[in-house]
Structure 1
Amino acid sequence: MTKIVLAGFLGMLLVAFVSARTWTDKKGRKIEAEYLSQTKGAVRLKLKNGKEVSVPFSNLSRADLNFLIEAEIASAEKENDKEPGDGEMEKKGSDGNKGGGIVIEVADPAWDRPVLREAILEVPIEVQEEKRGEFLYFSSANFRIVADGRMSSKGVLTILEVCELTKTYCESLPFGLSNRFKPVDGKYEIRAVGEKDEWIKMGRPEGNRSSFNPNDGQLEICLELFGLSSAGRGGETATRNLAGQMILHVSRCMLPEVYERNFMDWFTEGFPNLMNMAVYEKGKLDFTNVAEETKDLLMGKGSGRTPIFKKKIEMPKMSDLITQSVGGIAEEEGRRQFLAQSVLVMTYLTFLEDGGKATGLRQGLRYAHDFQKNQPKTIRYKDQEDLERQKAELKRLRDEMDDTAIAMMFRKRPWKEAEEDIAKLWKEKGLELIFPGAKNE
């Protein structure tokens, strides 16, 4: 992780771009202003009348945030090229903190953004339809449905909207997420199979309503198995289930490989299932009441829901939860409970901990992200013995990174203390979590 020693003052002063540019807020309002600097959570601008203003990152458009990231990179590169001198920033060398300055992390808008509670499509989706051979293609800005027959406009819009919203929301989070779908002709494809018989002919299990193949990066869904007609028409529950499945798959594809490789199912399955707690409305994903939605789901409140727990929720030790694999749980009920417990922990880390700032989670993920970024792309070795030695060392470093990143997610507290805080904050939301050895057990 890049660190810089600042002598005499706190904060990160970035290179000023002397030329003015147009800045746009989330409501589409525009101003001409000169970029001055950015600090944690805000950018400082100089208006045409000479007045200086501070604008939170949360108010800026995606284009503005991308500009700030580029400004951050340019500034860091310039500082790294400097020779240390009086009053200048110095890179931390092997002799540690020169001159008694304070070591801080380089600010980065991508990691300092707030955890938003909603995603809204800035403009309505425009669906492009075309026929190629026996298939119909329905496309939005980033996704394409490949259907084996005519689909209702509602079914098409639901799938494309939810996919676009999930991608947009995940990219807005300060967690280093990025899309790992493999595009085909510039779009991420979803194969929609209308009838169950055709789904089975394709070799897909009848018990699975959807399938994602990481090799070709294509998501497949069977409309009939969702309770929809072959054209995608159906009731509210079926449509909601379809939307939820889209959220699950798209958010899974937003997890970088380093997260999937180093964190167990409590995270890699807990995060997509947390995303599925959003309330989907036309053109909007709403996480405002995500804790309430999670509670209702676990307790079976709502149409068509089966309770996963009764009044109290028995939790495993956190040290056990983070090492558990859902595939290692034999009973279906046990798997459902494990996923629910994982969602509870992920909701805590994302929306409850530290007043909803997700401080620990973003620090841990950034540590893992930076670790991966600094790893060599190839291993150079003299012989097989040297190769095995280097591979073993790399595994050791990754294991250490895993432990360190998870410790940072939970603010480096003892597990018992973290469990108490999880239980306390969920109790405030109306859920009683019981960890082994807890006072209220």
Structure 2
Amino acid sequence: MKFPKLTVAALSLLSDFLSARTWTDVKGRTLEAEMVSKSESSVTVLVRGQKTEIALEMLSESDQKFVKNWERGDVAGYEALFEQKWPKLVSIDLDIEITEEEGEDGSYIYRSPHYEFISNTELSKVPVKRFSVLFEATREYVRQLPYANKKAHQESVRYQVFLFDTMESYVRAGGPEGSAGVYLGGKDVIMVLCQSLGLVKRGSTWAMDYDRTNKTLPHEITHQLTDREYFVEGARGWFSEGFAEYVAVTPYRSGKFSVSKAPSYIEEYVTSFSRVDNRGRNLGEEILAPRLEKFMTMSYSDFASAENGNFNYGLGALLVTYFNHYDGEGDAANIKNFLRAIKQGKTGTEALEVLRAGRSWEQLEEDVTTGWRKRGVKIDFM
């Protein structure tokens, strides 16, 4: 069985992945756009991948107030996070505390240290604790990676996850039909079917199916923990999805991610099917790929298309793994500089120029090809 494609969810949630808001001008006209930067007299927003400068005096009073209070993340304040050593093993204490209460709307609310699960069906503490460990461990994994994801370091909030007992109730609430779970960036919540948590219905109760593995959940959890800046043009697609794939494919068991094994597992997952669960992208060990500049700057709708989504997710995972472990001195320096540049407001080809680190696109393609050829994967950029 192949790993299920995520393109249905991805296409329907394109706008949700952007940190966009609705802007209103003094004439009452509206615009959906993502804020990039500001000056004393104007604001720069991203509209369909293009930067546009708007005079503050043209905006509504509430929008002007928003701009005044807006602050880009302080890169210097998180510089130490970029300097963290790449983890080999990430683990958490399995004995986490779970609290529960009934919501006013009849829902059932379960809380772990950093998550709030709102369910439309009653669950017992045993399975809740089991899947909560996966969520908490994924959070700790993303925290320890030297990507400086500020969201993963929040201590004063609980990330929200909505659970549904049937596909009908899931779709009715806004989940894409046919998907196992999804992250809604606009609302910053995860929606997921109980079955996707490894739960099975036995009579009137839910129990854990201990034989099931799950790559969809860590993928969506990673999206929820990823800073919004990392979804901008130039990173959206190859990096945002490749990063989520990197985390999701890393071998996991009982609160532990074996990070040192991630590269070999990703190679197997992308080129064939996993020996553990028979899921994978199955692109083969000889891959014909589009030119890197085109691939890294394509629109998200093209990246996640039904026709090419499976291939693009796989290639994205290979690229992220390359930059994490095989590029340059193998210290992830270039991809960390790329993320620094994004936090400083660079997007698109300007940010990717930092990633290339003085190399032409052709030279970068040669480096990627060489890096993976040493590991038995042949990538030809055509």
> TM-score when scaled to structure 2?
0.70
Q: Tell me, in whole angstroms, the C-alpha distance in 2 between the residues paired with 1:204 and 1:349.
A: 33
Report what 1:278 is aligned to: 250
Report what 2:200 is aligned to: 229
Change (3 A) 1:112 1:139: same
The within-5 A match list for 1:32-431 is 108-122=79-93, 124-133=95-104, 134-151=106-123, 153=125, 155-179=127-151, 186-224=157-195, 228-230=199-201, 231=206, 233-237=208-212, 240-241=213-214, 244-262=215-233, 263-298=235-270, 299-302=272-275, 303-305=277-279, 307-328=281-302, 332-369=306-343, 371-372=344-345, 398=346, 401-431=347-377
3-state SS of paired residue (2:225)? coil
Q: Tell me, in whole angstroms, the C-alpha distance in 1 between the residues paired with 2:259 and 2:173.
A: 36
1:368 and 1:402 in contact (8 A); partners too? no
Change (3 A) 1:124 1:235: closer
1:277 and 1:293 in contact (8 A); partners too? yes
3-state SS of paired residue (1:211)? strand
Among the aligned pairs, what percent are the same residue?
Answer: 17
2:189 and 2:224 in contact (8 A); partners too? no
1:326 and 1:338 in contact (8 A); partners too? no
Q: Tell me, in whole angstroms, the C-alpha distance in 2 between the residues paired with 1:331 and 1:148.
A: 32
Corresponding letter in the other structure for 1:308? N
**Deviation digits for residues 27-83 of structure 1, max 9, x if unmatched?**
xxxxxxxxxxxxxxxxxxxxxxxxxxxxxxxxxxxxxxxxxxx9x86xxxxxxxxxx
Change (3 A) 1:256 1:333: same
How far off is 1:326 after superposition?
Answer: 4.4
2:94 and 2:133 in contact (8 A); partners too? no
Which structure has the bigger radius of gyration? 1
Change (3 A) 1:359 1:245: same
The total of aligned residue pairs comes to: 300
3-state SS of paired residue (1:191)? strand
Q: Tell me, in whole angstroms, the C-alpha distance in 2 between the residues paired with 1:345 and 1:362.
A: 14
Corresponding letter in the other structure for 2:141? Y
> TM-score when scaled to structure 1?
0.61
How far off is 1:123 after superposition?
Answer: 6.4
3-state SS of paired residue (2:146)? coil
Q: Tell me, in whole angstroms, the C-alpha distance in 2 between the residues paired with 1:164 and 1:205.
A: 25
How far off is 1:267 after superposition?
Answer: 1.3
How far off is 1:342 after superposition?
Answer: 0.8
Q: Tell me, in whole angstroms, the C-alpha distance in 1 between the residues paired with 2:79 and 2:221.
A: 25
**Deviation digits for residues 298-325 of structure 1, max 9, x if unmatched?**
2124233255213311222111111123
| Root mean square deviation, CA, Å | 3.0
Greater relative contact order (CA < 8 Å, ≥ 6 in sequence): 2
2:131 and 2:197 in contact (8 A); partners too? no
Report what 2:10 is aligned to: none
Extract unaligned runs of 5+ from structure 2: 1-73
1:114 and 1:357 in contact (8 A); partners too? no
